[in-house]
Structures are given as C-alpha cells and as structure tokens.
Amino acid sequence: MKLKIRNWVVWMSFVVSVLEGVRPIPDPIEVFGHDNKNDIKGTKWAILVAGSSGYDNYRHQANVCHAYQVLKGGGLKDENIIVFMYDDIAHNPLNPEPGIIINNPNRTDVYIGVPKDYTGDVTTAQNFYAVLSGDRSALSGGSGKVVDSGPNDTIFIYYSDHGSVGSISAMPVGDSVFANDFIEALKNKHAAKSYKKMVIYLEACESGSIFEGILPNDLDIYVTTSSDSLQNSYAYYCPGSDPSVPPVYTVRDRTTSSPVRQYGDTNMGNDFLATYIGPTPILYENTYSFEPSTTQTTLISQRDANLLHLRLELEKASKGSEEKFKAQRRLDDEIAQRDHVDNVFNLIGDFLFGEKKNSMMLHRPSGQPLVDDWDCFKTLIKTYESQCGTLSIYGKKYTRVFANMCNVGISKEQLKVASLQACLNKNHAS
C-alpha cells in the first residue's frame, strides 16, 4: 500500500486535511515503505524554515524543530538538513522550561540537537534563496550549508509562518519571500538539473496564493498547503482548547477548518514517504492517531494567536502589579493598532475605489494567479509602507488589496497620495 504525500504531511506537521477526513495513523511499514527498488538512490535534502520571531510566535519554531526530529529520525544527516529559525524561543525569559521547546502537550523536547544554521539576523530571504540554489557565494553569514544537490537527489522544503496573500513570509529579518521570486528560484533549480524530485509543504494563512496559477506542473515538484488562496490557517494546542497545554504555551498548527490544497505534479502523491524523509523514522510517543474528538475544539486564527498570548499574559499577572499594568497596556496597544489598520484601509478604499471599494478584497477565479504584474504588487506594498509603516502580522491580511489595485490599474503615485491622507501618523506600524 502506498500512501499519498498529503498523508505524509499529516505525519510531518500533524495537519489534517478536511478533504481527506480524520483517520488513525497507519502502520509504520505502510507509511514509510520498504520497496527499495522504487526508492530514489540519491541524497535526501531538507530546508526547514520558521518565518517569524518572538515568543508569541512560539508555534512556528516548534513546528520546525519537530520536523527536524522526524527527518533526523528518518536517517537524514545534519549536513543535509538546513534550518532557518530566529532562535529566540528556547532561552526566552517567558519560556517556563528554559532550553526546551515542545510541540505537543506531552512536552517532548524537540529543540535538542537542532542545527543552528541560519539564526538571528541572517534569517533572510537572500540566504533562503542562496541555500535553495546551492550558491554559497550569495550567502551572508550563517553556517554556510546549502542544498548542494545533484540530479538524483530529493529535496523537501517545510515552511511554517503566518503568511500573507502573495508572499510566504516577511522572514524574521528583511524582505519577504514573494511568490513570483520563489517560483523563479524553483524553475532555476529545475533547469540546473540539481534534483530528481521536490516536495514543498507550506503552513501559513492563504498559502495557496503562493502557487495558484503560477506553479508549472512539469518541474517534478509536489506542493501541499495548509490553506487555499482565500482562508486562514489555525493554531492548535492553544490554552482552552482540547487537548490543551498550560497557559504559557501556544504550540502547534493543525488544519481542520481551512482547505488543504495540492499544486504542481500531483502524481507524486503516490510516492513512498521513505523517498523524502528516510526509511527509519523515530516513532515519538506523541504521534497518536487523529481520531475525531467528542469534545469541541477551539481553533485560533494564526493572525489572532498574538492577541490570545497577550490576553493570557494579562490574566496570569498579579492584580495591581507592574506586570499587570504592562500586560494591559500591551493588549490595549495591539487592539488599537488593529483598529488603526482597519481604519486606514477603509479610508484608502474610499479614496481609490469610492463606492466600489468592496472590490479591494475581490477573489480571482480558481486557477488564476493573484496578480498579473508582480513587480507592481511589490512596489505598491513598499509604497504603502513608506507612508504608513511596515505591515504588521495583522496588517498582512490586506495584501490582497495591493494585488487588486495592480489588476485595476492603480498607480504608485495614486496609492502614495491615498496612503499619505489615510495614515495620519506616518510612524505608526500597520
């Protein structure tokens, strides 16, 4: 029996597709396969990326650390696993268990042994592209590891972040990884004949927008995303959910309320898991089956996870304490900032679209790319940010607006004027 790659993604990041339904994890022999004559004989490579920083984004680095443990257990060598993570979680003052990162209420430490390839200020889009292409000369800092792959090798890319329409991530540092640039990097990798097959799993809000209508199906690449191009992804194992964790944690993502999607060469869904993650995975005690729960589960939108974190900080602070005052102020600031963002985009809609401002969030038909002119898309985002400040995690819910501006011919100059009028406080991050 061969299991489709989408079920392998369930194993890797505990994402459950609503299209497939919820089912028990199968027998390991069936999952990983043992038919050696069908296995690719080249080297197995992996790039693992946590696209955020900050303790309130704990879950993204926890996901990446867990993915590393699965790959390491599958027999991949550290020299072939390249990790991008800001690395400000394990030893964060807010971490109740210093030096430990968990990915499950059972509290198995997934941080142990994780390579520190690209951390802190070198977690950039530039380094991500350099690693993918195998171009050491383009690196800036870090371990120097790149995917130095050949024509018989496989590559697995796992990316965990908030996401936004048209870009995977802002990366912890610097510019975003935009869809067209990422696809171009994949095309160049294919043209260089430096892999046999590639699997990409993207776990982020509206993640289908990265590949919809622009990823060719002849690159020997299979992609699955935690959401389509329209919907959020959701955080799981949050305090108050079932199963729950102590209030100090917001741990992992599990997809049950947004539609998982496939792109690229979907025929690769018949491949054995061993082809990409090795034949001898460690079966962690926390890899239990996903049988339907009889208890209502609370899911938190990725973009609201920080709000939950701030509310929990306020709840646990002692009454009348300085910590209580600071926690209340941080929560109030976050709510005010979100209101500010909503008001700004509402005003920009009035200025540029008038009575037709509902078209700002228009969704294109399935199969069409988000935008016709990607340079315009990136230019308008930069134009807005030059007037209103860098888009926040919450503000990125509006990136579709910039795509639709490009699609109807709104110019950089028009947006600059509208943004200047809408953003009364130029330095207020949005």
**Catalytic choice (60, 66, 162, 340):** 162
Question: Which fold does the domain 5-277 belong to in CATH?
Answer: Rossmann fold (3.40.50)
Q: State the amino acid at position 381 in one-letter form.
A: I
Contact 227, 208 (CB under 8 A): yes
The lowest-confidence range among 22-26, 84-88, 335-339 is: 22-26
Please tell me the distance from the alpha carbon of residue 140 to that of residue 118, in angstroms, as a whole number: 10
Q: Tell me which residue of 73, 15, 10 sits closest to 253, measured CA to CA.
A: 15
Instruction: State which amino acid sits at residue 141.
Output: G
DSSP annotation of 354 reads G
Please say if the pLDDT value at position 23 is more than 50: no
36 vs 324, residue with greater confidence: 324
Q: What one-letter code names the amino acid at 144? A: G
In this structure, of 40-54, 145-159, 224-238, 263-277, the range with the lowest mean pLDDT score is 224-238
pLDDT averaged over every residue in the chain = 80
> Where are the strands (E) in 227-345, listed by range?
234-236, 252-253, 261-264, 300-301
User: Looking at 60, 65, 66, 205, which residue is catalytic?
Assistant: 205
Structure-token match 């005003």, residue found: 347
Mean pLDDT throughout 262-288? 73
In the predicted structure, residue 8 carries a pLDDT above the cut 60: no
Helix (H) or strand (E) holding 155: strand 154-160
Determine the Cα–Cα distance for residues 336 and 241; give it in Å rounded to an integer.
26
Sheet containing 234-236: give its strands across. 252-253, 234-236, 300-301
Reported in sequence order, the residue ranges of 237-386 that DSSP labels E, i.e. its strands, are 252-253, 261-264, 300-301
Domain locations along the chain: 5-277, 322-422
Task: Write the DSSP assignment of 104-135 as a string of letters.
Answer: STT--B--TT---SB-GGG--HHHHHHHHHT-
pLDDT > 90 in the chain, percent: 47
* Cα first-last separation, the chain: 50
Identity (one letter) of the amino acid at 32?
Answer: F
The more confidently predicted of residues 2 and 251 is 251
- The answer, yes or no, to whether residue 56 has pLDDT greater than 60, is yes
User: Does 243 sit behind a cis peptide bond, omega within 30 degrees of 0 on the bond before it?
Assistant: yes
Contact between 210 and 278 (Cβ < 8 Å): no
- Residues 158-192 have pLDDT tens digits of 998 876 776 766 688 988 889 899 999 999 999 99
pLDDT in tens, 111-120: 999 999 999 9
pLDDT of 310 reads: 84
What integer is the mean pLDDT of 278-305? 52
State yes or no: is 205 an active-site residue.
Answer: yes
Specify whether the CB–CB gap between 258 and 227 falls below 8 A.
Answer: yes
> Is 428 marked active-site?
no
Mean pLDDT of 13-19: 30
Sign of CA dihedral 37, 31, 101, 122: positive
Of the candidates 272, 381, 386, the residue with the CA atom closest to the CA atom of residue 8: 272
Q: What is the pLDDT of residues 187-225, one digit of tens each?
A: 999 999 999 999 998 886 566 678 888 999 999 999 988
State the fold for domain 322-422.
Answer: Topoisomerase I; Chain A, domain 4 (1.10.132)
Q: Which residue, chain included where needed, has tokens 């795509």?
A: 403
Q: What's the average model confidence in pLDDT over 334-347?
A: 92
Using an 8 Å Cβ cutoff, are 210 and 176 in contact? no
- Which amino acid would we find at residue 229? S
Claim: this prediction has a pTM higher than 0.95? no
- What single DSSP character describes residue 102? B
Cα angle vertex 282, ends 281, 288, to 5°? 105
